Structure 1
Amino acid sequence: MDMLQGMNDALNYIEENLDSTIDLDEVANRAFCSKYHFKRLFTLLSGITISEYIRRRRLTLAALELKDSQVKVIDIAMKYGYQSPDAFTRAFQNCHGVTPSLSRKPQQNLKAYPRMTFQLTIQGGSEMKYRIVEKDAFKVIGVKYEVEMVNGILSPTYENMIAGISDTKMGELESLSNKEPYGIVHVSVNYSESSDEKATFNQYIGAVTTQDEINEYSTLEVPALTWAIFEVEGDWLQVEKHWQRIYSEWLPTSSYELTEGPEILASKDQKNEIWISIKKK
């Protein structure tokens, strides 16, 4: 429950400072985690980056204030952190579909993004099979993609990443697997969020192996970490649902928190495991 309270305290701070500078270090402090982990956790729980959430909230309030015809557009732009009317107009139009001036017309439709809160939801007593493992460093060899995420949309898409690996190469990668987690592994690492509301990370699709590096593939060295490992039955849709349950149900009520490290999905013989790196609270 401490995690949920911390996340909501962070959202309260953001809400109180939408018309001033928002210090993401202070946001993370209120959530009792590092800035890196707060950004990652927020995106996993909400589906958008923290920068995008702040932008949407500011533009929601700006739209409401524009209904007052006595208030100048430039004053509202400056109030919500835009250094020029042009920058404000572009952001406002991307969000609401109309310019700030047109938004003042009666009957004009606009978008509103209410503030978020995080809650723990108990759903149906559905069990989650997991184990906690301390694991030495290991190596992943595979195909590396540099991925950009804007508003929850990946470039390249995951489907394109998979399609870019031939069946022959996928079989070759699977044959390299000789160490846990076994099978084909999908590893997300080096997540970061830039000031222009974009998130980036590296995606590796390959295998955990003790074999030497192979020139045509990339190598990722994973340090020694403690892992929470979850068994997942079913198709990719069930895997996605399980990711959400881990972060919204298991993590808030456990005695662990995230630590900096990769996120791994391992698939072998139609069985899946989700690996997240953790540490004791």
Structure 2
Amino acid sequence: MIAELNMLVELVEDRLDDDLDVASLARELGTTEYHLRRMFSSLAGMPLSEYIRRRRMSVAAADVLGHADLLGIAVRFGYGSTEAFGRAFRSVHGVSPGDVRRDGGPLRTQPQLRFRLTVEGNITMDTRIIDRPAFRLVGHAARVPLIHEGINPHIQAHVASIAVSEHARLKDLSDTDPAGLLQVSADVDPDYTENTELTYLHGVALADTTRPPEDLDTIDVAAGTWAVFRTEGEYPAALQEVWAATATDWFPSNPWRLRPGPSIVAVLDRSDDFSTATCELWLPVEHA
């Protein structure tokens, strides 16, 4: 995957003044747009779309410092007006094209990225690959913002609003793997951009043949392969550490890639105050 990401960066560089079709680039690289965007954002620390915008504005700065017509520069980099180009330029450099042309700066340059895999071996990945028939996820769902680190207060508030008796009812409904109460994230932004909205469901898994109660939200999950990562330790730090390591260590070293679908956390055991927990992280995958 590291080689594919570096090839992607080169292709982006060659086409900064063209209409970049990420789906086509993914096909050229023999992977999927979904996996490419998720791996890029996880390893680069920014969405692919943001990197492209920063690189375009970095290259465009040289033209702005010259004598070319600003509308012509805007059109060259895919903007239909000087106003739209100016907004993008200001979001990267903090000043307008006119200010830079007059004062010569300040400019903030986004260097061209280069990905390298550093194997440290400090995280043991306890993993298994499972083929699962179709099943359902049922429970209580809410739209919440994506937060990369720490406890998500919006999810915390949603779970706290569910009555204790309802937690017990949900647990009794569970009749297939992943077992027990589940934390489900679905409809996640492909770039995994922080603060974008996702669907969070607190619930359980039911067999495809089980009819779910009508008062619960339902997510139908197609048959497919799952990579299951077991984590133990401080919660949620240990879980988030292993989640990050799937992108930095596991996927680059294994012949699997992410496919669209919900990610699922099953809490197998926990301390009374939930400061530590044993969890399983289920990620939908396909053979690369």
Q: For this structure pair, what is the TM-score category when the shorter chain's length is used for normalisation?
A: 0.7 to 0.9
**Which of 77, 99, 114 does residue 74 from structure 2 map onto?**
77
Contact 2:34 2:259 in 1 (8 A): no
Aligned to 1:214: 213
Which amino acid letter does the alignment assign opposite residue 81 of structure 1? G
| Structure 2 residue 153 is the aligned partner of structure 1 residue 159 | yes
Q: Which amino acid aligns with 1:44?
A: S
| Match status 1:272 vs 2:266 | no
SS of 1:21's equivalent? Answer: coil
The answer for the alignment partner of 2:273 in structure 1 is none
CA contact (8 A) 1:6 1:30 kept: no
> For residues 107 and 81 of structure 1, do their structure 2 counterparts lie closer, same or farther at Cα, with a shift above 3 Å needed?
closer
Structure 1 unaligned regions, length at least 5: none
Question: Is the contact made by 2:145 and 2:154 (CA closer than 8 Å) also made in structure 1?
Answer: no
* 3-state SS of 1:55 partner: helix
What is the DSSP-based 3-state SS (H/G/I as helix, E as strand, rest coil) of the residue aligned with 2:259? strand
Please state whether the residue corresponding to 2:260 is helix, strand or coil: strand
Contact conserved, 1:36 with 1:192, CA < 8 A, in 2?
no
Q: Is the 8 A contact 1:5 1:31 kept in 2?
A: no
Distance in 2 of aligned mates of 1:206 and 1:189: 13
How far apart in 2 are the matches of 1:113 and 1:176? Answer: 51
1:50-95 deviation line (CA, Å, top 9, x unaligned):
2222112111222233222x12222221111110011111222222
Partners of 2:63 and 2:11 lie apart in 1 by: 21
User: In 1, distance between residues paired with 2:34 and 2:202?
Assistant: 23
2:51 and 2:95 mapped to 1: Cα distance?
A: 20
Q: What is the alpha-carbon distance in structure 1 between the residues aligned to residue 174 and residue 212 of structure 2?
A: 13
Greater shift, 20-29 or 107-116, is seen at 107-116
Deviates more, 1:7-16 or 1:166-175: 166-175
Residue 148 of structure 1, CA deviation: 6.3
In structure 2, the residue matched to 1:223 is 222
Identity %: 30
1:238 aligns with 2:225: no
TM-score, with length taken from structure 2: 0.82
Residue aligning to 1:102: 99
User: 1:48 deviation in Å?
Assistant: 2.8
Q: Secondary structure at the match of 2:108?
A: coil
Given that residues 31 and 38 in structure 1 are in contact (C-alpha distance below 8 angstroms), is that contact kept between their aligned partners in structure 2? no
> How far did residue 213 of structure 1 move?
2.2
Aligned residue for 1:238, secondary structure, equals: helix
8 Å Cα contact 1:193/1:200 also seen in 2: no
User: In structure 2, which of residues 36, 43, 46 is the aligned counterpart of residue 45 of structure 1?
Assistant: 43
**Aligned match of 1:92:** 89
Query: Match of 2:250?
Result: 250
